[in-house]
Structure 1
Amino acid sequence: MTTGYVVVDADSGKTTMQQNEHKKFRSASVVKLLIAIDYLKTLDGKEIPAEDRALLEPMLRSSNDDAASALWVRGGQRPIVERMVAEIGRDDTAPPADEGMWGYTAISAADVAKIYQYILDDADPEVREFMLTNLHVHTKCADDKFDQSFGIPSAVAEPGAVKQGWSGFGGAPAQGEECQDSSDPGLTAKVLASPEVAQTQQIASGEGPTTRAADDIDLKRPAMHTTGTVGDDEKIIVLLTLEPEKTPWEIAAKRTTAITKMLDRVSG
């Protein structure tokens, strides 16, 4: 198992724990943070149209891939990452070599921690409020029926704003292993009803068989990432992982949760 992690005291900005913090991983769904921030900045404080809210909310809360693909294409794909690198000032993040594969964006634990610090400290108030409101109500089940309660949601007493990511475990859980506690199926229904989604459902999310990767990041080993804040957003935890090939979801989730619990406990 390969890990990269960062723990930050959000109030002071001080990093309290770190290891392999600049190692690059494929982002999987963690890149949805950038997709959402980039979109919100284009509004320049204007109200979010209802049809766009129906994409953004399930993308952030339940990691809906169709919504992410629609917004990724609308934002120009690669330029989304380039704009966010310039805005937030990150060192290790790079667009995917195959720009249709948003899940193959290169990220590091240090850079993801900077995204949360940006949301908390530097984003426009309306961007901050929307991001934190939705990330705080992350659902147990993702829209693809994987259980996204591993890591921060299960490891800490008071999980805060959370965005998970995973790749390499298939497009959906095995039959009979689907997550059963869907918090708001109505959000998914709104996404699937979007004409924009219908036009972009062929955009892959990082589960394709072979493609080039940005910066030669590992595309073969299963990736499982847990990122977010603790309590009243006073601590930021970012844990990015790569598991041995063919590791079952349940084993990866237990390990990710155990490491997160250690990071939270040791960092105080």
Structure 2
Amino acid sequence: MPTRRPHRKGRVLISLALACAAALSLAPGASGTPRRAPVDATAAAGADADVPPGVTAGIAVFDRETGTFTERHNADLRFRSASVVKIMLALDYLWDRGPDYDVPEAERSRLEGMLRSSHDGAASHYWSTRGGSAIIDRMVPRLGLTGTAPPPASHPGYWGYTAITAADTVRVYRHLLDEAPAPVRDLVLGHLRAATRCAADGYDQYFGIASAFERPWSLKQGWSGFDSGGCTAAEREAERARERAASRASGIDLVSEALHSTGTVGADDRTVVAVLTLHEDGTPYGTAYARLTRLVGSLDVPGAVRPAGAWFPTWGSGVRVRAAATTDSAVVTTLPAGVEVLVGCQRRGERIDVPPHSSDWWAHLPQYDGYLTNVFVDVPEEKLPGVPDCT
């Protein structure tokens, strides 16, 4: 089965890169991949922010109970927003709805798709019908933002190239939680609490907050710059040349792969978390996914509950998570290539052979409520070390 790779996100770019419910074969054959050791899920808790080499991060973590930041790292550094800007698009639409905040059914559906499943078409609708960059110009003073700016003049239609900072992202969430009228707060945060694992474009968007912490949480994620393989080399290089020029003009990196995790964590939305990251050009989506999740999990987040289990790397692409320890069971989801997974326990099931690897043990992944054959867990043993049997 061919490897699936994610795509570039910014305008109306909808594709099925990493389709989460694809009913294809178990996984592609692969061999010779070095296998590594697991990471205890609790070991990183309470440590300093673990920013991986080659990653640029902007971090702001605000504890609403104490009114203080527990983490700040490059909090005022500008990043392109990717889909995080969709919260501002929703707030701009809702701002002038009147005291009853009557939202037509068609717009309710559009807002749901944009906020829960990160639908690009919905964002482009609001961008084109409500003045494009004028939306950002309106929202900056409304929300008291200091580092947010419209997309560069060279990319006026690219709402995902809006400049944001981690500090401003926290301000947006604090407005939603503490200042927005109840109908606005309930509508927007209600959708963010119900964010789907699979985005409208097929991306698994449960990295960062959703993987590092148990519910309750709300989240709005962002991703940009990952290659779908859908363009020719010449087209891709031409686009990269335009992005490099725009980066120089605007002072914002529009080339490196961007992956952001933002939202609230804990009972009563105790803590606001904003982690914005850039990864070296060419970084695979699964690699960035794992790095960001580990970074978020290393933060001091009051009220957060970290899931029990151990993190293990995986190998292969198009790897399926199943409802039971057999390939006859339903496909729960498809993993991003090379992502790390949390394993709670393991059980014997159907024997899987992908030479030179073979195993009849399957890892239970509690955050997917499904099973992954140990063949695609990147350790040398057939049975995962230190992981209990499922009861």
* Alpha-carbon separation, structure 2, partners of 1:169 and 1:157: 27
* Distance in 2 between residues matched to 1:70 and 1:172, nearest whole Å: 26
Structure (1/2) with the larger strand percentage: 2
Tell me the equivalent position of 2:358: none
Q: Retained in 1: the 8 A contact 2:271–2:303?
A: no
SS in 2 for 1:236: strand
What's the counterpart of residue 110 of structure 2? 55
| 1:126 to 2:161 alignment | no
Mapped partners of 2:295, 2:266: distance in 1:
18
Distance of 1:56 and 1:72 partners within structure 2: 13
Residue 86 in structure 1 maps to residue 141 in structure 2: yes
1:22 aligns with 2:79: no
Q: Is the 8 A contact 1:60 1:134 kept in 2?
A: yes
2:309 corresponds to 1:254: no
Question: Is 1:69 the counterpart of 2:124 in the alignment?
Answer: yes
**What SS does structure 1 have at the residue aligned with 2:261?**
strand
2: distance between equivalents of 1:39 and 1:264? 34
Residue type of the alignment partner of 1:15? F
Question: Residue 265 of structure 1: CA displacement?
Answer: 5.6
The question of whether the paired residues in 2 share the 8 Å contact of 1:146 and 1:172 is answered with no
Give, in whole Å, the separation in 2 of the partners of 1:150 and 1:254.
7
CA distance in 2, matches of 1:12, 1:265: 12
Residues 32 and 68 in structure 1, CA contact (< 8 A), matched pair in contact too? yes
**Cα deviation, residue 266, structure 1:** 8.2
For residues 110 and 46 of structure 1, the distance between their equivalents in structure 2, rounded to whole angstroms, comes to 28
Aligned to 1:165: 222
How much identity, in percent, do the aligned residues show? 44
Letter in 2 for 1:36: A
Structure with the greater alpha carbon radius of gyration: 2
- Secondary structure of 1:43 counterpart: coil
1:47-98, CA deviations, whole angstroms, 9 ceiling, x for partnerless residues? 1101111210010000000010001111111111111101110110000123
Residue 362 of structure 2: aligned partner: none
| 2:63 alignment partner, one of 3, 9, 15 | 9
Q: Which amino acid aligns with 1:231?
A: G
CA deviation string 1:8-67 (max 9, x = no partner): 012343111100000000000000010001001121233110111121001000000001
1:267 is displaced (CA, Å) by 8.8
Going from structure 1 to structure 2, the CA distance change for 1:170 and 1:160 (only over 3 Å counts) comes to same
What does residue range 180-219 of structure 1 map to in structure 2 within 5 Å?
Answer: 209=240, 210-211=242-243, 212=246, 215-219=250-254
Superposition RMSD on alpha carbons, in Å?
Answer: 1.9
The structure that is helix-richer by fraction is 1
**Is it true that 1:110 corresponds to 2:167 in the alignment?**
yes
Q: Aligned match of 2:206 in 131, 149, 152? A: 149
Are 1:58 and 1:64, in contact at CA under 8 Å, matched by a contact in 2?
Answer: yes
* Aligned AA (2:277): T
Deviations 1:106-144 (A, max 9, x none): 000000010000100011111111111110000000000
CA distance in 2, matches of 1:108, 1:219: 14
Runs of 4+ in 1 over 6 A off after TM superposition: none
Aligned length: 234
Match of 1:99 among 156, 166, 171: 156
The corresponding residue for 2:342 is none
Q: 2:63 is matched by which residue type in structure 1?
A: D
C-alpha distance 25-267 of structure 1, shift in aligned 2 (>3 A): farther
Q: Does residue 1:228 correspond to 2:283, yes or no?
A: no
- Would the aligned equivalents of 2:71 and 2:300 in 1 still touch at CA under 8 Å? no
1:228-249 deviation per Cα after TM superposition (whole angstroms, max 9, x unaligned): 0002210111100000110000
TM-score scaled by length of structure 2: 0.57
Q: Do 1:221 and 1:243's aligned partners in 2 also have CA atoms closer than 8 Å?
A: yes
